[in-house]
A = this chain, B = another copy of it.
Amino acid sequence: MWRAGSQTWYKLHHLSKAGKLCVPAINVNDSVTKQKFDNLYCCRESILDSLKKTADIMFGGKQVVVCGYGEVGKGCSAALKAMGSVVYVTEIDPICALQACMDGFRLTKLGDVVRQVDMVITCTGNKNVVVREHMDLMKNGCVVCNMGRSNTEIDVSSLRTPELVWQHVRAQVDHIIWPDGRRIVLLAEGRVLNLSSSTVPIYVLSITATTQALALIELFNAPEGRYKQDVYLLPKKLDEYVASLHLHTFDAHLTELTDEQAKYMGLSKNGPFKPSYYR
């Protein structure tokens, strides 16, 4: 169920809309702590780790296109930029697109840069983002991998044709060889790269597990009527509680509101400190 997260919740929402959800559900995948830690911060580290472990690639000076600028794409882009790569971003959502611009990334269509890049990384949660037409244009040695959803983002099936030779180089690494000798480096056969090649930090695992456990306890303990047969976000206060349980690792010291400040802000001193939609 790990990181299949967003996919699972889409399905729950569809069930709910169709009136077929027979129990209340909490979408912990979209809690702030889960989103930021499992997706943003975890991917920021695991993209580097996974690429080193599989393709053993040097990041400095490489041109990379990251497809999708959600939390996963943000993490991957930031990490590669920090290591000296030149990163291009593709997006369908104009809000995320504008964020990519302001974060210093050129926003392009995949087709416009696919000939020149050294790496293509998908983080969209969508399907067929990288298709055969793109791969026919990639330069020799281009690394292609997926950090997004299951195995749908790269159209790997389009590579299983007689004229292309597959060469299994080592675990999680295949070279696909075109008739002219050009080859692309496909990682994990298009499955989620960091799940295939990297580990999840125990810290992130703890955050996600705590989130899930608290959601279950909340559903179990909630007075009748609080939750209907629908999909809910984790209550903000529980989200904050998860975070507060993990601060000590960093020797982090939280400030407490004074009575006067709490009153001024209209907040309880114990939280929640933000409206539910705040991220």
Interfacial residues, chain A to chain B (CB-CB below 8 A)? 10, 14, 30, 32-33, 36-37, 41, 44-45, 48-49, 52-53, 56-63, 79, 81-86, 90-95, 97-110, 112, 116, 125-129, 152, 198-199, 201-204, 233, 239-241, 243-244, 246-247, 249-258, 260-261, 264-266, 271, 273-279
Contact = CB atoms under 8 A, between A and B. Distances in A.
A122 to B, nearest CB: 12
A61 B95 contact: no
Given A98-B247, A104-B84, A261-B128, A45 B58 contact: yes
Query: What is the oligomeric copy number?
Result: 4
Contacts of A58: 45, 201-204
A140 B56 CA distance: 32
Contact of A247 (B57, B79, B94, B110): B94
A198 B49 CA distance: 11
Nearest to A50: B52
A57 B220 CA distance: 35
9 contacts: A53-B53, A60-B103, A60-B104, A79-B83, A85-B104, A94-B254, A110-B255, A128-B261, A276-B277
B277 A107 contact: no
B108 A253 contact: yes
A251 B33 contact: no
B93 A240 contact: yes
Contact of A249 (B61, B90, B91, B112): B61
A261 B112 CA distance: 20
Given A82-B83, A94-B241, A98-B247, 18 more contacts: A37-B102, A45-B60, A49-B49, A49-B52, A61-B252, A62-B250, A84-B103, A86-B106, A92-B254, A92-B257, A93-B273, A94-B240, A95-B274, A98-B243, A107-B250, A107-B252, A152-B264, A277-B279
Contacts of A100: 252
A243 B94 contact: yes
Nearest to A276: B277
Contacts of A106: 63, 86, 252
Contact of A261 (B44, B94, B126, B256): B126
Contacts of A86: 104-106
B32 A274 contact: no
